[in-house]
């Protein structure tokens, strides 16, 4: 039998029906949702095929989809609404060498310095040298960046660890503006379809003649259905994992899904111990952390203790603009020393009109909390912000599994090493997203067809009656555990205890999965447990302190033994999850 799945979006039901399928397509009119024939009965899994499958709609996923649309059909699946992503909350901006007094070597050096000896210099050069092109491209795609007063040139901000002004921004809402522009472009493309509330849960991999990825299994969170998404090229652009920590600047989508999915298929993952904590998240008990951009310190903001003392000069010569790991540890130490729940960020000396022009979003957030920034200081605490580690990729976004690419925060390209320099990640997402598509196209991977036998006709019987509290309890426990035991300052004893508790949590999740329960939050939790285990495993492996990884038993950096990536890999691939199936 020939492969029936080679044309774009060929479904097990007809193309006409596909516009009324249970998925919410965001580039058709509004979704008309088809109720499943029998909400409680078994359903056939549909198959959606395209040349490229992009998983995630942050800056990495959208860039990949836009580029890939030039070469073939594209399906993009995204977990929630299409704009919901870490990208959407990015404030500071995008690092690029645009000032005539700045140069590539300086940006490279700053990146290497922040990365504490673990950056891959070739990757750094590729990213940095593509910076101006990225800004130009985002501009052409319609991103509206902030310009210098009345001038043609872009306003360049300053952030910690950068020795020049080089942060291109759209006021303090850079990510939202980039996301808006790219989504608008993508909606115009006929060859791309965006599937919202579509959560990738496992990769589809064939074994012979060599392991190769052919797409993924997707959970439709609206109608509780599972579907196959097949493609010659699969790009993981699922972002970060901040949700494994109790306090994080990341939205709820950031559960480490891509890393967990790749790891389960034996793809090497690297440097998971290097979790970046942003030093200044707005502190308001009971509220989700809101970021106070590092650019605020770039414009003169000063960190102070509760008794008004500026403390960064005791910790680093660059004071408030020291690299982020140093500032976060200093804040943590000052809070612990005094038993204070937060420190304070002082912007009272910055002309208020100018501050409000540059940071309208932050100003509004403070006003909403009745803070008058000419009089009051901003209460801030550190929060988990960014994962420097991820799926190990080469210079073209390629992973060790043929047909699978990773771009953006989910990837470990070697750019960030042991600590990411501020505003280098949107840059990385665009540069390596584009290169992934370019590599796949050059190799013709998008035109290859999967073997007939990897997709069987499968009927799924959703099993939903698991009490929600079972999942929410495990999730809360995990997030507190990671915050308390695997946080900014670590110890071997706490890490080992965290490892034990994670084993118990894993068992509980496995029990529910094996019992056939199908729930989006359960699939999320499965990934959160898996990536937490990877963070702990890498942290226990590295017997030194370096960059973002600080461990009490080994407070020094040990270049002789540890100037290398921590790479973890599963020996055996795990069969993709098809809960509640009958063949
Ligand atoms: P994301 O933007 O997080 O997108 C991930 C996408 O994958 C989402 O659409 C999500 O729904 C989807 N997804 C996840 N799992 C699945 C799944 N299983 N199935 C389907 N879809 C899935 N960096 C900078 O360079 N400059 C900044 O100024 C800056 N500020 C920041 C401010 C904040 C508050 C935060 C949180 C981060 C900031 N960063 C900044 C970091 C940067 O925003 C992110 O690293 C970058 O945007 C990540 O882009 P991404 O496309 O890789 O992931
Ligand atoms: C910020 O605006 O402080 C965040 C910048 C970043 O995470 O790169």
Q: What is the pLDDT of residues 133-144, one digit of tens each?
A: 999 999 999 999
- Band (pLDDT 50/70/90 cuts) for residue 3 is very low
- Tokens for 91? 């404030």
pLDDT in tens, 514-529: 898 988 999 999 999 9
Preceding peptide of 156 cis, ω within 30° = no
The C-alpha R_g of the chain, in whole angstroms, comes to: 23
Q: Tell me the sheet residues that pair with 216.
A: 203, 229
Residue carrying the six token digits 């002789």: 560
Q: Is the pLDDT of residue 246 over 50?
A: yes
470-498 tens-digit pLDDT: 999 999 999 999 999 999 999 999 999 99
Active-site residue, 165 included: no
Strands 74-77, 192-196: parallel, antiparallel or unpaired by DSSP?
Answer: parallel
pLDDT grade, residue 38 (50/70/90)? low
Residue with tokens 């501020």: 422
Positive/negative CA dihedral, 202, 204, 208, 211:
negative
Is the shortest distance between the CB of 182 and ligand 1 below 6 Å?
no
Paired with 582 in beta bridges are 459
Torsion sign across C-alpha atoms 249, 254, 259, 264? positive
Of the pLDDT bands very low, low, confident and very high (cuts 50, 70, 90), residue 41 is: low
Spatial distance between the Cα atoms of 285 and 379, rounded to a whole number of angstroms: 11
In the numeric block, the tokens 């999967």 are attached to: 450
How much of the chain exceeds pLDDT 70, in percent?
Answer: 92
What is the distance between the alpha carbons of residues 407 and 433, in angstroms, rounded to a whole number?
A: 5
Which range has highest mean pLDDT (283-292, 472-481, 507-516)? 472-481
Distance, CA of 198 to CA of 25 (rounded, Å): 10
Place of tokens 């790009």: 235
Class of residue 148 by CB neighbours under 10 A (exposed 0-12, middle 13-18, buried 19+)? exposed
Mutate to test the pocket of ligand 1, among 239, 390, 520 (most ligand atoms within 8 A of CB): 239
The answer to whether residue 37 scores a pLDDT higher than 60 is no
pLDDT above 90: residue 2: no
d(CA 74, CA 76): 6
Residues, the chain: 583
- Give the position, in ligand 2's atom list, of the atom nearest the Cα of 425: 8
Residue 43 half-sphere exposure, CB side, CA atoms within 13 Å? 24
Between the CA of 87 and the centroid of ligand 1 the distance, in Å, is 4
pLDDT tens digits for range 384-430: 999 999 999 999 999 999 999 999 999 999 999 999 999 999 999 99
> What is the spatial distance between Cα 94 and Cα 565, in angstroms, rounded to a whole number?
26
Look at 457 and 541; give whichever has higher pLDDT. Answer: 541
Range scoring the smallest mean pLDDT among 151-155, 453-457, 471-475, 524-528: 453-457
Q: Which residues contact 558 (CB under 8 A, 6 or more apart)?
A: 543, 544
Average pLDDT value for residue range 437-458: 89
Give the CA diameter of the chain: 76
Once rounded to an integer, what is the mean pLDDT over residues 575-580? 79
Residue 390's pLDDT is what?
98
Using DSSP bridges, classify how beta strands 343-346 and 302-304 pair: parallel, antiparallel or unpaired. Answer: antiparallel
| Lowest mean pLDDT segment, chosen from 27-31, 145-149, 383-387 | 27-31
Grade residue 9 by pLDDT with cuts at 50, 70 and 90.
very low
- Expressed in angstroms and rounded, the spacing between residue 175 Cα and the centre of ligand 2 is 10
User: Which tokens hold the place of 461?
Assistant: 């019987």
Contact predicate 561/571, CB 8 Å = no
Indicate which residue of 324, 441, 506, 542 is catalytic: 324
The Cα–Cα gap between 332 and 342 comes to 9
């Amino acid at each position: 039998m020939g492969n029936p799945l080679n044309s774009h979006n060929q479904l097990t039901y007809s193309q006409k029906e596909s516009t009324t399928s249970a998925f919410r397509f965001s580039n058709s009119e509004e979704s008309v949702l088809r109720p499943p024939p029998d909400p409680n009965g078994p359903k056939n899994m549909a198959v959606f095929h395209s040349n490229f499958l992009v998983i995630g709609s942050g800056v990495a996923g959208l860039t990949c989809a836009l580029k890939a649309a030039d070469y073939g059909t594209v399906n993009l699946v995204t977990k929630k609404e299409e704009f919901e992503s870490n990208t959407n909350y990015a404030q500071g901006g995008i690092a690029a060498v645009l000032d005539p007094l700045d140069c590539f070597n300086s940006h490279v050096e700053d990146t290497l310095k922040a990365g504490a000896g673990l950056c891959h210099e070739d990757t750094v050069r590729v990213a940095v040298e593509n910076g101006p092109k990225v800004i130009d491209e985002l501009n052409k795609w319609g991103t509206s960046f902030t310009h210098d007063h009345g001038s043609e040139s872009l306003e360049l901000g300053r952030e910690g660890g950068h020795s020049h002004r080089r942060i291109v921004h759209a006021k303090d809402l850079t990510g939202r503006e980039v996301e808006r522009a790219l989504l608008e472009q993508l909606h115009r493309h006929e060859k791309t379809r965006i599937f919202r509330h579509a959560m990738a849960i496992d990769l589809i991999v064939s074994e012979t003649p060599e392991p190769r990825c052919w797409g993924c299994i997707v959970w439709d969170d609206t109608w509780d259905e599972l579907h196959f998404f097949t493609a010659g090229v699969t790009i993981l652009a699922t972002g970060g994992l901040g949700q494994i920590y109790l306090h994080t600047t990341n939205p709820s989508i950031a559960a480490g899904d891509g890393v967990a999915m790749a790891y389960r298929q034996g793809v090497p993952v690297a440097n998971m111990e290097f979790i970046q904590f942003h030093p200044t998240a707005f502190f308001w008990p009971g509220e989700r952390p809101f970021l106070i951009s590092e650019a605020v310190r770039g414009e003169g903001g000063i960190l102070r203790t509760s008794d008004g003392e500026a403390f960064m000069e005791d910790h680093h010569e660059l004071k408030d603009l020291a690299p982020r790991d140093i500032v976060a540890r200093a804040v943590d130490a000052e809070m612990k020393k005094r038993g204070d729940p937060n420190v304070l960020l002082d912007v009272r000396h910055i002309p208020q009109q100018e501050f409000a022009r540059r940071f309208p979003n932050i100003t509004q957030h403070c006003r909403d909390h009745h803070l008058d920034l000419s009089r009051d200081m901003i209460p801030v605490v550190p929060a988990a912000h960014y994962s420097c580690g991820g799926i190990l990729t080469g210079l073209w976004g390629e992973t060790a599994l043929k047909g699978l690419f990773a771009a953006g925060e989910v990837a470990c390209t070697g750019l960030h090493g042991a600590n990411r320099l501020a505003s280098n990640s949107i840059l990385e997402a665009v540069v390596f997203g584009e290169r992934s598509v370019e590599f796949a196209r050059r190799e013709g991977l998008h035109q290859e067809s999967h073997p007939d036998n990897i997709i069987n006709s499968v009927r799924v019987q959703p099993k939903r009656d698991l009490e929600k509290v079972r999942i929410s309890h495990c999730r809360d426990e995990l997030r507190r555990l990671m915050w308390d035991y695997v946080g900014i300052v670590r110890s071997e004893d706490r890490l080992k205890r965290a490892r034990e508790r994670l084993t118990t949590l894993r068992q509980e999740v496995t029990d529910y999965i094996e019992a056939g329960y199908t729930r989006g939050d359960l699939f999320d939790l499965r990934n959160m447990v898996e990536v937490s285990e990877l963070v702990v495993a890498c942290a226990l492996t590295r017997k030194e302190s370096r960059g973002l990884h600080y461990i009490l038993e080994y407070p020094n950096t040990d270049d002789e033994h540890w100037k290398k990536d921590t790479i973890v890999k599963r020996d055996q691939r795990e069969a993709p999850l098809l809960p509640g199936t009958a063949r």
